[in-house]
Amino acid sequence: TQTTRPQRILAAVQKNATRGDPRSVVKAIDQFCRHKEWAMNVGDEKGCILDSVVTEVNPATVLELGTYCGYSTVRIASLLPSHAKLITLEFDPGNAAIARQVIAWAGLADKIQLVEGASGDWIPKLKEKFGIETFDLVFLDHWKDRYLPDTKLMEECGLLRKGSILLADNVICPGTPDYLEYIRNSPRYKSQYFKSHLEYTKAEDGLEKSVFLG
Ligand SMILES: O=C(NCCO)c1cc(-c2ccc(F)cc2)cc(O)c1O
Ligand SMILES: [Mg+2]
């Protein structure tokens, strides 16, 4: 019977990456997706921009919206200080099951809390469920029509503090026009666009980095 693309990505990790070595997990997925089968990981080019933002922010608390196979989850977690915590939300149970195994292979399970379900349902529960005050960094990479409502929800739930950083993938391709319009025109954010390319392609895409001003 037919395997899924996430299952084939996990197989590539288990075949080509070293257990406990997050960078080898990232490399194995990039090799597979560049040379064998495209997949919607943030990828190596945008991943370098992600890395630079993570190291600059040096966050103690991170929220990732949209885990997929755990590529960016592993990429971010591998750069976090020892006591930092990353919570990642994934709607699709199949994706979540694969991501758990990719995260385990990278040896990062103790830094990462993967939560299965809809972001809109979970965001209001994060404080009580995980003892979170606010997030230092949020990586938005889930359904593109959820970026704006979930950002407004995070504001309303008091999950952002003065200086919290939002980093949004795919603001050009597939595109998040309503989110961009809001975040670039809101007096409560200072935004910066990092031009790049859609993962593993020559198409334009980019990341939007926004600081919440309180
Ligand atoms: O839907 C996306 N993510 C949420 C589900 O996990 C997503 C899609 C694409 C993409 C797809 C199809 C295409 F033709 C172009 C782009 C790229 C991404 O980086 C993404 O994050
Ligand atoms: Mg993406």
- How would you write the pLDDT of the chain (214 residues) with one tens digit per residue? 999 999 999 999 999 999 999 999 999 999 999 999 999 999 999 999 999 999 999 999 999 999 999 999 999 999 999 999 999 999 999 999 999 999 999 999 999 999 999 999 999 999 999 999 999 999 999 999 999 999 999 999 999 999 999 999 999 999 999 999 999 999 999 999 999 999 999 999 999 999 999 9
114 three-state secondary structure: strand
Residue 39 Cα, ligand 1 centroid: separation in angstroms?
Answer: 8
169 lines ligand 1 (CB under 6 A): yes
Nearest listed ligand to the Cα of residue 201: 1
Quick one: three-class SS letters along 172-207? HHHHCHHHHHHHHHCCCEEEEEEEEECCCCCCEEEE
Contact at 8 Å (CB) between 145 and 172?
A: no
ipTM over 0.90: yes
pTM, to two decimals: 0.99
Q: Which atom of ligand 1 is nearest to the CA of 67?
A: 6
Q: Which atom of ligand 1 is nearest to the CA of 92?
A: 6
